[in-house]
Amino acid sequence: MSTREQGSQSATIETRDDLVRWIAAGEKPRSEWRIGTEHEKFVFRTGSLAPVSYDGPDGIRALMQELIRRYGWIAIREGDNVIALRRPDGEKGGTISLEPGGQFELSGAPLETLHETAAETDEHLREVIDVGEDLAIGFLGIGFSPKWRLDEVPRMPKKRYQVMTRYMPTVGSRGLDMMYRTATVQVNLDYGSEADMVKKLRVSLALQPIATALFASSPFTEGKPNGFQSMRSEVWRDTDKRRTGMLPFVFEPGMGYERYVEYALDVPMYFVYRGGNYIDVAGASFRDFLNGRLKGFEGERPTADDWSDHLTTLFPEVRLKRFLEMRGADGGRWGTITALPAFWTGILYDETALDQAWEMVRDWTADERDKLRNDVPKSGFGTRFRSTSVRDLARQALRISRLGLKNRGRLNSRKQDETVYLAPLEQISDNGRTLSDEFLRRYSGDWNGNIDHIFEEFAF
């Protein structure tokens, strides 16, 4: 989730049109389209397999301080606490941040090619593993904590999470699980115009359950099979229905920036950030804020940063800000981290591929899209859709993605194009066995029902 730093105040928002213009300012010419990848890892003690607390000589704070010392990262603080890291000005490398339960996230830089994404991922993982080995800390990339109870997960000292933790139980039964026990891989991609944004948003929303099936890696809860391919995705179904889901209005006539703004204005707020503090206004209306009627802020209008903050608290399957954020995948292993941006870059960044993907999904109904979203977390590839299966839909989507990456023609030093990063997904779709299936096979086989093996065999 986003990390704020104090700085000069942004422009005041006067009208709803200012909110629309803020999103529209994200439009970029094709030559400036970039790929921004985010990936989270669970952090555990290699001896006890317990989650890692923030404090202590071998805690999360110590991990970040050692990354600063060895690799030149710069601390971002809230009060006395280091809550994120950034690269020095002018250097690529993105931002390292903490999720609520200590999940360790790299929010990567906006990069031109997937080859750069792979290199960025490799560098980040090498750094954290190097430090982690000295602190007896390991990192696990899957979608849901396989072993820990909710009350065992430590809480990170990031103030916005305190607001969310208080509010989540009032709007759904799984919000705290989402915050403290899930991990994901996401990719942020650009659009060139309002029409381009709408087409990409429609395609990516429709296909998001296909990505969920391909990346499913969370079949365990508290050491036992939970009956799902993606418990992470299932948890989102009862987190907060006003800010999650498949956004059926996106497929209706008249969809554009203004319609998304109307949706966002109706999603309740969490907080207002002032003077380095997150002020709890959970459940309040951004419409009231826009009109100077927010309780506690009467007569004050929001800033552009307030609007940006609010958009980060919306959690649909695809999120629109000044880019599009793909949110449907479980956390993954080393190779599948780059596979996620490869899948979506191939589909969305080549016009021929995007046209084919739109033809694939354009006649799907709202009920069919919702059924896919609701059924895939449990059934994965076995989910039926019309006369076919999600596995077959995944194969079709991967063929489209491969075409798009081929057409991009971005080569690395070995003359390979970006299709090489689809290999883990093509293997999964060809053999019909997800990472969740592989976990369950081992659990009932050579693991003999002992979940601890997942930390030994699948950690980075």
d(CA 425, CA 447): 25
pLDDT at 6: 62
The pLDDT tens digits for 321-378 are 999 999 999 999 999 999 999 999 999 999 999 999 999 999 999 999 999 999 999 9
Instruction: Tell me if residue 106 falls in helix, strand or coil.
Output: strand
Read out DSSP for 359-372?
HHHTT--HHHHHHH
Cα 13 to its chain centre, rounded Å, is 28
What one-character DSSP code corresponds to residue 51? B
Q: Are 155 and 180 in contact (CB under 8 A)?
A: yes
Cα 440 to its chain centre, rounded Å, is 24
Taking the CA atoms of residue 317, residue 320, residue 325 and residue 328 in that order, the dihedral angle to the nearest 10 degrees is: 0
Could you tell me which residues are beta bridge partners of residue 330? 184
Q: Which positions ≥6 away from 192 have C-beta within 8 Å?
A: 27, 28, 29, 30, 33
Q: Which positions ≥6 away from 361 have C-beta within 8 Å?
A: 202, 203, 206, 207
Tokens, residue 449: 């029902």
Question: Domains plus CATH for the chain?
Answer: 16-457 (3.30.590.20)
pLDDT at 8: 74
Q: Are 85 and 95 in contact (CB under 8 A)?
A: yes
pLDDT in tens, the chain (460 residues): 666 666 678 999 999 999 999 999 999 999 999 999 999 999 999 999 999 999 999 999 999 999 999 999 999 999 999 999 999 998 988 999 999 999 999 999 999 999 999 999 999 999 999 999 999 999 999 999 999 999 999 999 999 999 999 999 999 999 999 999 999 999 999 999 999 999 999 999 999 999 999 999 999 999 999 999 999 999 999 999 999 999 999 999 999 999 999 999 999 999 999 999 999 999 999 999 999 999 999 999 999 999 999 999 999 999 999 999 999 999 999 999 999 999 999 999 999 999 999 999 999 999 999 999 999 999 999 999 999 999 999 999 999 999 999 999 999 999 999 999 999 999 999 999 999 999 999 999 999 999 999 999 999 9
Q: Are 240 and 168 in contact (CB under 8 A)?
A: yes
Burial string for 325-334 (b: 16+ CB within 10 Å, else e) reads bbbbbbbbbe
Q: Are 208 and 326 in contact (CB under 8 A)?
A: yes
Tokens, residue 116: 């750069």
Instruction: Tell me if residue 3 falls in helix, strand or coil.
Output: coil
The neighbour count for residue 150, using CB atoms within 10 Å, is 13
- Between CA 369 and CA 373, with CA 371 as vertex, the angle to 5 degrees is 70
Residue linked to tokens 């002032």: 274
Tokens, residue 40: 């989270």
Read out DSSP for 280-321?
E-TT--HHHHHTT--TTSTTPPPBHHHHHHHHTT-EESEEES
* Integer CA distances (angstroms), 324 to 320, 345, 365, 398, in order: 5, 11, 22, 20
- Between CA 188 and CA 264, with CA 178 as vertex, the angle to 5 degrees is 55
First to last CA, the chain: 22
Q: What H or E segment, with its residue span, contains residue 340?
A: helix 334-348
Cα 332 to its chain centre, rounded Å, is 12
Q: Which positions ≥6 away from 429 have C-beta within 8 Å?
A: 214, 381, 391, 394, 395, 398
d(CA 361, CA 318): 16
The pLDDT tens digits for 102-126 are 999 999 999 999 999 999 999 999 9
Could you tell me which residues are beta bridge partners of residue 41? 104
d(CA 50, CA 25): 44
Instruction: Tell me if residue 196 falls in helix, strand or coil.
Output: helix
